[in-house]
Structure 1
Amino acid sequence: MINFDDAFAALIGIEGGYSNNSADPGGETMYGITKRVAMQNGYTGDMRLLQLEQAKSIAKKCYWDLYQCDQFDIRIGYQIFDTAYNGGHPAQWLQAAAGVTVDGAIGAQTISAVRGSDPLKIVMRFCANRARYYSSLNNMTFINGWVNRLAKNLDIGAA
């Protein structure tokens, strides 16, 4: 994995296509893009008809670029991207992993601290925060999927 295109391909391998599970607080999704996010980005059609390229464009803008994933080692960028996509606290978990003030804004201090750290340590700490978050949720319907997703993220981080 070397860039956004690779990260998106890996993510879509997890997200799949259309879903409308009543237990999912994200609601109706296509390629992991929720209807709410699609509409905020100008999509007005049936979610089942959202094209992969449209989803990719939304993902780049809302989850990759917003969290400055290009600023980091791809293994770290992927963790941030996947967490933003899946729901969680990517900026806070990244800051905690880097040992900087947790304010939820990825700025110069966070970027510098992350770049000056061992990427594997950042990935491990980030995933530990994510695991703690999953264990705090009351919705256990998706726990197997979340644990498998986290396992895949650890594999990606170790690559």
Structure 2
Amino acid sequence: MDVAALIDEVIAREGGYSNHPADRGGPTNFGITQAVARANGYAGDMRQLPRAVAEAIYRRLYWERPGYGFVAEIAPNVAGELFDSAVNMGPATATRFLQRALNALNRNQRDYPDLKADQLIGAKTLAALGAFMRLRGKAGEKVLLKAMEALQGERYVALAEGRPANEAFLYGWLANRIGY
């Protein structure tokens, strides 16, 4: 799994500077919100955010910190989906999608024990993923991705239903985020 390629893809989708009035994130560049940039040491104008700073933030916050590199060793496409979902919804939400999908696909714990959906990639989540992949293989990885994407899509619709201003983004979320 090439995290640099994933970052390039996200930046291409996110585009450059934006300050959409309906976006609670405020000024954003390369998909990095001003709040995230500030929390990671960038104090300049968001229009001038260096791409290298955005890349470093993506790598640290949305790949390394949540442990998606460990997932990539078992199921590379799942790791890519986790990364993309984490960028858009946060690593905790993305990881919970994986845990919930694994629980729903374990055939009532016959294949591996249920996971606590604690939103963290740990030994139990990695063990469940490994067991799933050994049993189901690459075809199973595609099914797992579909389950994760279904959860993601439901969340997007709920966000639009819960806040009408989010309807401005729903089409793009569904078109550009599901099935990255």
- TM-score w.r.t. structure 1 length? 0.89
What does the per-residue CA deviation read over 1:2-49, in whole Å, with 9 as the maximum and x for residues that have no partner? 310111111112101111111011111110011111111110101111
In 2, Cα distance between equivalents of 1:122 and 1:28: 34
1:114 aligned partner? 129
1:147 is the counterpart of 2:171: no
Closer, same or farther in 2 for the Cα pair 1:126/1:150, shift >3 Å? Answer: same
Runs of 4+ residues deviating >3 angstroms: none
SS at match of 2:38: helix
Matching residue within 130, 140, 146 for 1:124: 146
Where structure 2 has 5 or more consecutive residues not aligned to the other structure, the ranges are 104-114, 133-139
SS at match of 1:19: coil
Matching residue within 93, 117, 123 for 2:97: 93
- Kindly state the Cα deviation for residue 152 of structure 1 after the two structures are TM-superposed: 4.2
Question: Would the aligned equivalents of 2:19 and 2:28 in 1 still touch at CA under 8 Å?
Answer: yes
In 1, Cα distance between equivalents of 2:118 and 2:179: 28
* Counterpart residue type for residue 148 of structure 1: A
Structure 1 or 2, whichever has the larger Rg, is: 2
* Counterpart residue type for residue 119 of structure 2: G
In 2, Cα distance between equivalents of 1:24 and 1:17: 15
- Kindly state the Cα deviation for residue 150 of structure 1 after the two structures are TM-superposed: 3.0
* Counterpart residue type for residue 116 of structure 2: T
- TM-score w.r.t. structure 2 length? 0.80
Aligned residues: 152
1:134 aligned partner? 156
In 1, Cα distance between equivalents of 2:126 and 2:175: 28
Where structure 1 has 5 or more consecutive residues not aligned to the other structure, the ranges are 154-159
Identity of aligned residues (%): 33
What does the per-residue CA deviation read over 1:99-153, in whole Å, with 9 as the maximum and x for residues that have no partner? 1221212211111212332321221111010011011113211011011123442
* Counterpart residue type for residue 9 of structure 1: D
What does the per-residue CA deviation read over 1:39-71, in whole Å, with 9 as the maximum and x for residues that have no partner? 111101011111111100011111111221111
1:157 aligned partner? none
Question: Would the aligned equivalents of 1:20 and 1:27 in 2 still touch at CA under 8 Å?
Answer: yes
Question: Would the aligned equivalents of 2:68 and 2:121 in 1 still touch at CA under 8 Å?
Answer: no
SS at match of 2:155: helix
